[in-house]
Amino acid sequence: MNITIVGATGAVGIELIKLLGLRKFPLSSLTLLASERSAGRRLDTPVGKVEIKAFDSKYFENQDIVFFATSGEHALEYAPKAVEAGAVVIDNSSAFRLDPNVPLVVPEVNPQAVKQHKGIIANPNCSTIQMVVALYPLHQYSKIKRIIVSTYQAVSGAGQDAIQELNQQLHDHIHDKEIKVKAFTKQIAFNVIPHIDVFQDNGYTKEEMKMVNETWKIFDDSSIKITANCVRVPVIRAHSEAINIETENKITESKARELLSKVDSIKVVDERVNAGYPTPIDASEKMDTYVGRIREDISCDNGLSLWVVADQLWKGAALNAIQIAELLNTEHFRKNH
């Protein structure tokens, strides 16, 4: 397939290139687009060294799939142009996620939604993806009535500048220098910030409401009651989530382990001993979604608590996008494209 990555030098773009190789995705050609300042650089890719081109929509011609790893505003403007040129767009921004005409896809949960695309497929929010991967096997067994989730989100979810700020603040702290804040609302080193994205009228942040609205769309069930509290933590890579659910019928902890263990992309790490649970370091640059700390909720009859960790640059972004592309890479798609 002929593939283009828009935003090839960003955090997600770099991981897309890496994962196309690791997943052995069938590439005929790979076009890398970025800003003017990156143009001319050459990157190692699964098809050899590829020179980055300054973004121009003319490069959408004769492409099968265009990955957008840029801002929502940029995607809104240019994704339709890629579709007009004959490509299918897999967009990593929030631009199209809640558009009723655009499927929002997590391949382990709703792969059938890919068939409904009209040229654009949306990749969900990173924190939503790992949550629904872990909860869907349980939801299939007994409908989930309520979800309470608190996230512990790595700084890389806010981009390269955020990673650099954490590293710089750690350096400045050690050397007794003034700590400067730019990428976040408060110092992130040795701190946690209960604020991701902009505040909404209901007091929740946009990130928190993404988890609500996107889960409803992916599960095709807006009757589930969901509340989220999204927190930034001084971790470089991989998000963690403490999730509590209430189901219509009781799911015992042993049944939950059994259901989760049957899913190829879920790794259950749940031993009640020191280090018998997953952490962000364990999940970094791994394709699986890790689940641990599985226990029945002692505060309600049909409650269950679990701890979910995944690499948000991989499963929460680039990997999920490539898995969507793998769904498109079928005889049916090739015949009709």
Strand spans (E) along the chain: 2-6, 29-34, 42-45, 48-51, 53-54, 65-68, 88-91, 120-122, 144-153, 225-232, 239-247, 266-268, 289-296, 303-310
CA-wise closest residue to 90 among 318, 333, 334, 332: 318
Two structure tokens written together for 218: 């992916």
As a whole number of angstroms, the distance between CA 284 and CA 301 comes to 35
CB 77 within 8 A of CB 65: no
As a whole number of angstroms, the distance between CA 62 and CA 67 comes to 14
Burial of 172 (0-12, 13-18, 19+ CB in 10 A): middle
Helix 11-22 with 319-328: angle, nearest 10 deg:
50
Among candidate residues 117, 126, 139, 230, the one labeled active-site is 126
Produce one character per residue of 213-251: b if its CB has 16 or more CB atoms within 10 Å, e if not. bbbbbbbeeeebebebbbebbbbebbbbbebbbbbeeeb
Q: Which residues, in sequence order, are CB contacts of 84 under 8 Å at separation 6+?
A: none
Coil vs helix vs strand at 112: helix
CB 304 within 8 A of CB 294: yes
The distance in angstroms from the start CA to the end CA of the chain is 11
Among candidate residues 175, 195, 239, 300, the one labeled active-site is 239
Two structure tokens written together for 94: 């929030």
At residue 205, what is the residue type? T
171 is catalytic: no
126 is catalytic: yes
As a whole number of angstroms, the distance between CA 41 and CA 52 comes to 6
Element (H, E) at 273: none
Which residue numbers are catalytic?
Answer: 126, 239
